[in-house]
Amino acid sequence: MVILQKQVCKRRRALGWEEAKLERFDGKCKWSGRKEDRLVGCSMQGIRPPILNGPMHPRPLVALLDGRDCTVEMPVLKDVATVAFCDAQSTQEIHEKVLNEAVGALMYHTITLSRDDLDKFKSLRIIVRIGSGFDNVDIKAAAELGIAVCNVPSSSVEETADTALCLILNLYRRVTWMHQALREGTRASSVEQIREVAGGAARIRGETLGIIGLGRVGQAVALRAKAFGFNVIFYDPYLPDGVERSLGLQRMTTLQDLLIHSDCVSLHCSLNEHNHHLINDFTIKQMRQGAFLVNTARGGLVDEKALAQALKEGRIRGAALDVHETEPFSFSQGPLKDAPNLICTPHTSWYSEQASVEAREEAAKEVRRAITGRIPDSLKNCVNKEYLKTAPQWPSMDPSTVHPELNGAGAYRFSSNLVGVTAGGLMGTGAAMEGIVAGTLPMAHGVAPVSRPPHTPSPSQPSKAETDRDIPADQ
């Protein structure tokens, strides 16, 4: 093995290549090496140099837009794609090669893709949101450009539900404030002192929890809350009749009915143009005096200025927010900076080590399905499938036309100063086949390159009737 590695290194030097390293430069993803900047490919073991004669084996480019760790995604995609990372906060920071050649994009919630942003990508065919929420992607504009948008809706259901219930219990039992009082030196030895420190703590059994949006997370919260003695009611106009009977819950026919009857309101719905600031000054006045509010869904659902005023006036007894209108959230600015009886966490209700790995693996698998199958038929969680099918150019696509970058049939190649990196590097017999993935099979795909004429502006969010109800505060 040592001899083989020495032979490989000797061959690399003969070809004029040096070991590359990963770096960030001017907000763009690049290789750094001896001669020229090179696009970053994810690997821990080595580089794959070009073939001396002839083109590189066709390999589509997949980019992680707003992250820099693709160690989970690489094993899933290494035999069908070259994976790059950008670590960008906007498309202005994305390398030109990614904008021109990437056919797949993976993304978290820290970057936004509007129509103008999507127009910058010249070869993009699929975007996968690593998480469940997709309000940071204009899915209708993506469909009009022939781009499928997918999400991973199930990986963080338990984590988000557990966090929501934790915040609810915290509001009722006031654990955070008791801890803070002790840290500040408050003594609670006598009954009177205990009453003062624990003032506001309430019994849970018999209280009514109102859930807005009974999707995956909403249902998980409802089942957990029942075990603590809550009476659970919900409002969700999109669920079919009878769901409430199967779960043993009470259904409210209007949002107003739910707000009037709830001692605590927990939000578990997606964000779209119809429900922005769902909780505002008007709806807060419809809530019970002294009710609690919990939001682990999307920050834009709550008008924070109205909430801050309600907390100061005591109309809302306490609130717990994991998501905020402006993120990353800071107590030093914004309307909530001096609001009392408020718990805030930094959009982390979705996170656990297990959930993070599962979401990343599933996102990579979705990209793989796009590469090896047909868009959108082979996709598991395509959120703009209906838009794709009704997009003006979709019916005119010739299904027999093969996408050169997705099935390896065309002359997809990197320029001479760019290399794709795979986890296998140049080990074993692969050294005799540099630049070629051994055993790769032809992959048929039904999406042809799409011309992108100018379009009229479209809403940046999905319509009300086509949203996913259970968007937890994911990544």
The set of catalytic residues is 298, 327, 347
CB 137 within 8 A of CB 113: yes
Angle at the Cα of 209 from the Cα atoms of 208 and 211, rounded to 5 degrees: 145
Cα gap 119→246, rounded to integer Å: 45
Cα gap 134→115, rounded to integer Å: 14
Residues paired with 31 in a beta bridge: 22, 38
Q: How many residues does the chain have?
A: 475
Reduce the DSSP state of residue 102 to 3 states and report it. strand
Burial of 3 (0-12, 13-18, 19+ CB in 10 A): exposed
CA 89 to chain centre: 14
Neighbours of 195 (CB within 10 A): 11
Question: Which backbone phi and psi does 279 adopt, to 5 degrees?
Answer: -100, 105
Q: Is the dihedral of CA 451, 456, 462, 464 positive or negative?
A: negative
Peptide bond into 395 cis (omega under 30): no
